Chain A
């Protein structure tokens, strides 16, 4: 201990610091409380303040095929190089589109906003390129973008999609208030085939009926009703087609492209509407 310490007899501006540092329990309790404050103040309120996630028409949960695509997106670590969070700057608007709204990632367990753009933002990638472009880009990125440093994801189109976890995934998400009904979960396999167009169009209408009009909201425990949009609202149509260009089977590439092609397309942005204020808390619901 320093001389300065001995002189001060352990009192720091009237605080008996000597006592604190001689007692493990006191020191431990002070530290345990002090480190918790900031997190509580910054994280907890957002769960309770209504305007943290202003509801805007159109956002729906992912279909089973898109959900599997999202799992592949996570598995391959896409979010390490591609953000999904457009900031409200002019250059980002020019390059990527309207800034991202909180509600647009409201169903994303886990969030995939990312922290680095080694590649461009993909929050509004949906329908920006054709499926054929995506297939070629996944096989050999540098054949369509010569400057790209992205790995070739050749294994995606060679691997048949493993759907053994899909029902469990949906159940887990349902338990966290993502609006999947028991009917949705029971029909996941049919819906996956329908969306990837390997069933000659048999299940398309059912798939659309199940997912297209789902509204932002929650399913309560035991209550299996799903909130849907009123007829006057025109939702974004589901993409139903052979995404990898091959309608004979459902591959991982089908799922990933299905996921990418819906990104950022749910909300219809209107010119001149300020999405922070005008549409605040006015969900368009039954």
Chain B
């Protein structure tokens, strides 16, 4: 749905006013309602489906595989995004893929993958597959929420063989029934639109059209972490922004991320 020049101009003015007036009446830090369901794919170790009020929808599956980390020492979490209607090598898909791999990069502070180690030789590798069924704006934030929900409900087979297998090799064997909660908290990604001097969380597609710039902020375990990026949301209004807005943006996320987390957990 495209807006006319006059509409855009009106929208820009109201969004950059202080306080900003969003067309759907939200506060700058307010999210649109989302609907999340988890564990609906029994074949996967964890799954979630998230639907935004504009009809954007994304499905995440987490599957595990036992690997020999002495041979295969890639990251233990591998994420792949598939956006309906987009080729796998399209720019959107590739940029989201690369951003997500950075977000899910194992890191002792934010994403502690030591929980995935089974024995001295073997680990679980998690495959996080994201299917974006439909989206009307950049789905990165939605995806990160879906991944968070999927990972936090992921259960993995329970190891019953020994831990030390370096000298005398044992193949890991697992309990035939029990699954253990992984309890891995993945980072959340927030997308803010910069309009004038205002920062708007979770911009709707019409807000995209007039944003001067976009800011991607990653948040994990109570604090903002990397990657933090800017992203151009349209071709017409894009321009630079005041460095102080960056700090403001981070602060906004720090203030409200916990609410989002609580909403996701409930």
Q: Do A and B come from one complex?
A: no
Binding site for B on A (CB under 8 A): none
Residues of B within 8 A of A (CB): none
